[in-house]
Amino acid sequence: MRGGAPIHEETSMKLHELKNVPGAVHRKKRVGCGEGSGHGKTSGRGGKGQTARSGGSIRPGFEGGQMPLYRKLPHRGFNNYEFRTGIAVVNVGDLAALDAKITEVDAGVLSAQGLLRSGEKSVKILGDGEITRPLKVTAAKFTGSAKAKIEQAGGQAIVA
C-alpha cells in the first residue's frame, strides 16, 4: 500500500479480469474460403474487370468514357466572396464587461480590449446579454434589441 486509503480486495478490479462488452469485438471477414462461407470464388467483388482487381478503383464522376455530367454543365458565373465586407460581431454583454473607465466605445477600443481580431474595422453590435451603465457606442450596425438596451441604460448608439 502506497499512500492514500487502503484498497479493498473484494471491490478492486484486476487487469486479467477485464472483458470487452458484448458485441464490441467482431471476427474479421474471411473472404475466398469456399462457396459455403458466402464470400468464396470472387470474394464479394463481383465478376472480372477493373473493380475486381486490387487497387482498381474508378475516380468520382467517371462515366465509362461518356462525357461526364460535370463537363457537360456550364461553368460560368460570378462569386462575390473575394469582394465581401466582413463585419465583426460583438454582444451587448461583452460591452458591459469592458473596463469601468471606458465611456466611449468604437472599433479601436474593442480591438484594444481583445474583442476584435486585427484588421477588423466594421462592427455590428448584437443584443445578447445585459448592460447597466451608460456607454456611447459607435459601430457600423446595431440590432434593434442592442440599440434598445444601450439606450435604456442611458447610453447612445451611433451608426458610423
pLDDT digits (tens, 9 = 90+) for 93-147: 999 999 999 999 999 999 999 999 988 889 999 999 999 999 999 999 999 999 9
| Mean pLDDT computed over 41-48 | 92
**What's the structural domain count of the chain?**
2
Same domain, 106 and 47: no
Q: Which domain holds residue 154?
A: 83-159
pLDDT classification of 5: cutoffs 50, 70, 90 = low
pTM of the model: 0.53
- Alpha carbons 26 and 34: distance in angstroms, whole number: 20
Same domain, 70 and 87: no
pLDDT digits (tens, 9 = 90+) for 23-36: 999 999 999 999 99
Neighbours of 37 (CB within 10 A): 13
